[in-house]
């Protein structure tokens, strides 16, 4: 379920949404590190800045999901998306997956807006990725027959460890992580009321 055996070409063909998201993340990261490109302008335009959101720049509830300045941050989030995204893209379908991913990220960023101070600034896909964990947890809690035993054995420890590490990792948007997870859990619960999310 979480073991990737596809070639690069096969992955692109089977999981176009995940491939597109990672591609955008990489392009934005590279643009921010090209000497002649106005890195600060791009970052200042896309980062989640609570004060600017409150002043009407609502795209900042979405745009931070795609922005990474630190290579390690980009690598970790992209790797997490490659590992845990495909099963969901296959189970939900392309349109539903991108909707769930964006809504989880918005949930994380909206909570950050409401809880953190006005000048708080944040970037990264972590809130949306925690939302994916939340979807898996919703299936385990409410429709466990849809989740293979092996999947449950992977997701539960990863989710617990990720939440614990959130509180011990410096410069992390703790609010975004926790509420990304909660957003995914709520979205998953709602989706399961209308349709199966079957990983078997």
Active site residues: 126, 177
- Distance between CA 102 and CA 128 in Å, rounded? 7
Residue 62 Cα distances to 102, 109, 135, 188, angstroms: 7, 8, 19, 20
CB 116 within 8 Å of CB 54? no
Q: Which two tokens stand for residue 186?
A: 């709520």
8-state DSSP, 49: E
Token output for 52 = 């600017």
Q: Is the dihedral of CA 113, 115, 119, 121 positive or negative?
A: negative
Place of tokens 């099963």: 87
Please name which of 175, 49, 33 lies closest in space to residue 122, comparing C-alpha atoms. 49
Instruction: Please give the sequence-ordered ranges of beta strands (E in DSSP) within 67-159, or none if there are none.
Output: 121-122
CA distances from 93 to 45, 130, 143, 155, 167 (A): 31, 19, 18, 20, 33
């Amino acid at each position: 379920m979480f073991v990737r055996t596809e070639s690069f070409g096969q992955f692109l063909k089977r999981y176009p949404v995940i491939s597109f998201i990672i591609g955008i993340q990489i392009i934005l990261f590279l643009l921010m590190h090209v000497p002649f490109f106005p890195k600060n302008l791009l970052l200042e335009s896309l980062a989640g800045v609570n004060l600017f959101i409150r002043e009407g720049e609502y795209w900042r509830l979405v745009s931070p999901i795609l922005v990474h300045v630190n290579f390690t941050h980009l690598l970790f989030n992209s790797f997490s998306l490659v590992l845990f995204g495909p099963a969901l893209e296959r189970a939900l379908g392309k349109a539903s997956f991108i909707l769930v991913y964006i809504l989880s990220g918005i949930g994380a960023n909206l909570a950050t807006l409401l809880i953190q101070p006005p000048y708080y600034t944040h970037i990264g896909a972590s809130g949306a990725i925690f939302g994916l964990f939340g979807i898996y947890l919703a299936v385990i809690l409410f429709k466990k027959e849809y989740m293979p035993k092996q999947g449950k054995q992977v997701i539960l420890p990863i989710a617990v460890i990720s939440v614990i590490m959130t509180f011990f990792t410096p410069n992390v948007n703790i609010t975004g992580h926790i509420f990304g997870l909660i957003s995914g859990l709520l979205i998953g619960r709602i989706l399961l009321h209308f349709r199966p999310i079957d990983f078997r």
